[in-house]
Amino acid sequence: MRKINMRQAIIEALSEEMERDPKTVLFGEDVGKFGGVFGATKGLHDKFGERVFDTPIAETTIVGAAVGMALTGLRPIPELQFGDFVGIAFDEVYNKLGKWRWMHGGTMDMPVTLRLPIGIAGGSGPEHSQSPQALFMHGPGLHIVVPSTPYDAKGLLKTAIRNNDAVLFFEHKVLYDMKGEVPEEEYLIPLGKADVKREGSDVTILATALQVHTALKAAKTLAENGVEAEVVDLRSLAPLDKETILTSVRKTGRVVIVHEEPKTGGSGAEIAAQISEEAMFDLQAPIKRIGSPDVPIAQSIYLEQFYRPSEEQIVTTVNELMEY
Amino acid sequence: MAQIYKKDVDVSSYTKETLHDFYRTMIKIRKFDQHLIRLMQEGKVSGFYHSGIGSEGLSAGSIRNVLRDEDYIFYNHRGCNQKIAKGVPLSKLYGDFLGTTEGTTRGLGAGIVHSADVSRGVLGQAGTIGSQFNLAVGTAYSAKIQGTDRVTLCYFGDGAASREPLHGSLNWAGVYKLPVIYICENNEYAISCHHTETHSVKEHIADWAGGYGIANYVVDGNDTLLVNEVVKEAVERAKKGEGPTFIEAQTFRHRGHYEGDPYDYVPAEVLQDWKENRDPVKNFKKQLMENGICSEGEFADIDHAVEAEILEAIEVAEKAPLPDPKRIYEGLFS
Ligand SMILES: Cc1ncc(C[n+]2csc(CCOP(=O)(O)OP(=O)(O)O)c2C)c(N)n1
């Protein structure tokens, strides 16, 4: 099968969906002729003209306008140049995007797909490196998608765009250049379904985005020493695929959750709580979380490495769990 | 409508010392920038860098000879220019880029934004551009209520001007007649977008301030002395309790938005014209020569001295150690 990177997969998903539905509109800062600062909208302005437009630097308005467009028949796909900037549009995301339909009695649709680049990459500093997705697990009404491969990114983005609810679509910056197999023919991946990226019987590693790859590397190392790790790519934090998570946990009896978000209040906290509520007696060891330290991400490229979960950390943690 | 600020500036109304200081500041900014880009090319500096080459006249003219250490600035994301003009030691700035403990952040790394030097009124900046608009009304309100005559300068680009908080900030500044001076560094482009593509008012961004009853001017931002004059008047106004001023300074960036930007969205002739005919350093130098303020020899002396100062600053910054990894846990709380 052909291999393309996640950037190309995203462009293909956007392009195919825009072709399919003339009501789709794509906008954000520099997404037009420049093709996006990460190149994830390259060529789309040439193809779709004014349906792909550059906005002023005004995140509040970008998301607010998307809400208004959605209510009146369009299918907006806004982009925030960096996911960190979601704080600027917090009211629009937290109080409007996920709640408008419900609080007005359920008669309106909210087909917004908000794309947000996340993650530590090359010394980008405390306001350009964060992974704020967990904040929105706390806000009802929002789908939260976090792909880890080009294949998943394409299939999930296409579904997200067709979905009539608000979707926050988080893309790890380091993954844009990562290649993977993507078929030529069309496919969709349902939202809210996790994917077992590697089967194993001794421990379950739950991960998202770049950490899926870190977990897969750790699993390989562990296997050399006879420990079989199952790597579950959550793909979606809301809704959370409890069935896949619990099935795996019941099989292995051990859980490590890995993410680049600060550990406190990260998505792992919620997932760990749900596992302990429903599968406490299937566990042979405590649930472990590997997250970033609870401090802002330093701009120094030397220091930033201490925020990103490493293969060694996963291996060590799994080995600790195996001792129980 | 914004007033185009015009004045026949008499060079002889400035002391030779002041004029040399303007030149020295501008050349320091340019060389700082060039050496930093070299360090990036050598792989020693990571992250984004937004070069300030092309707007040295605006930074020097709006700070030197008019602001004191106790006046506050919120620099913008091309703001090494402004920090240098405000006197932040070069070794500290290089230290922030190199991530060594010499930096103002003592090793956290800072890029352009996040360096601070409270002793010189440099109160920091944010990666989310336009965050300074609301902070500036806070520092200005603070000066007013504490009865000091400190002024706040708030720098931002034409792109950042489209951030919603600008309007909240202007409204407060107007209502409370705050000692704040808005300096819009209009270098025409916000990454790839020309300001006329993203602003409803195409002519002058300064017009927005008029809507809030705030004195506003458009000035040639590459004319160092003209900038100095208009800012001096604004500072006087602020100190007399007459409230805010909005200055839109027209300039252009010589390099792409960030290092690595192909910069192909700007027509080559336009860029060439700014570089050849409207370079603030070149033109200021010419102005001083023509008025007999400075000879080739004196310029050369200043250039050499600045070059040496920069190389020494880099050495100090590079020699300082990297922080201990525990550094990231320090300073979150007092
Ligand atoms: C709130 C926010 N939105 C977007 C960005 C990304 N960004 C950084 S600089 C920039 C363009 C700024 O343009 P302008 O204010 O005109 O300044 P210039 O770079 O031209 O000097 C953008 C979009 C950001 N850092 N913060």
For residue range A191-245, list pLDDT tens digits in order. 999 999 999 999 999 999 999 999 999 999 999 999 999 999 999 999 999 999 9
Task: Please tell me if residue B168 touches chain A, with a CB cutoff of 8 Å.
Answer: no
Of A57, A126, A293, the CB nearest to B160: A57
pLDDT tens-digit series, residues A91-134: 999 999 999 999 999 999 999 999 999 999 999 999 999 999 99
Q: Which residue(s) pair with B157 in the sheet?
A: B185
Question: What whole-number distance in Å separates Cα of residue B89 and Cα of residue B77?
Answer: 18
Q: Which of A45, A104, A128, A143 is catalytic?
A: A128
Percentage of residues in chain B with pLDDT exceeding 70? 100
Asked whether the beta carbons of residue B192 and residue A58 sit closer than 8 angstroms, the reply is no
Peptide bond connecting B267 to the previous residue in cis, omega within 30 degrees of 0 = no
Query: Cα(A122) to centroid of ligand 1, in Å?
Result: 19
Task: Please tell me if residue B162 touches chain A, with a CB cutoff of 8 Å.
Answer: yes
- Which segments within A91-188 are labelled E, that is strand? 113-118, 143-145, 167-172, 179-181
ipTM entry: 0.93
pLDDT tens-digit series, residues B240-279: 999 999 999 999 999 999 999 999 999 999 999 999 999 9
Query: Cα(A234) to centroid of ligand 1, in Å?
Result: 33
Question: What are the phi and psi torsion angles at A202 (to 5°)?
Answer: -95, -35
pLDDT tens-digit series, residues A2-56: 999 999 999 999 999 999 999 999 999 999 999 999 999 999 999 999 999 999 9
Q: Evaluate whether B173 touches B214 at the Cβ level (below 8 Å).
A: yes
Asked whether the beta carbons of residue A56 and residue B46 sit closer than 8 angstroms, the reply is no
- Mean of the pLDDT values across residues A69-77? 97
Select from A37, A57, A60, A61 the residue to mutate for testing ligand 1; criterion: most ligand atoms less than 8 Å from CB.
A57
pLDDT tens-digit series, residues B285-326: 999 999 999 999 999 999 999 999 999 999 999 999 999 999
Asked whether the beta carbons of residue A57 and residue B190 sit closer than 8 angstroms, the reply is yes
What the block records as the tokens of B197 is 């593509």
Asked whether the beta carbons of residue A127 and residue B328 sit closer than 8 angstroms, the reply is no
Q: Evaluate whether A101 touches A91 at the Cβ level (below 8 Å).
A: no
Please tell me what DSSP assigns to residue B5. P
Mutate to test the interface with A, among B36, B39, B46 (most CBs of A within 10 A): B46
Compare all CA atoms of chain B with the CA of A58 and give the residue at the minimum distance.
B163
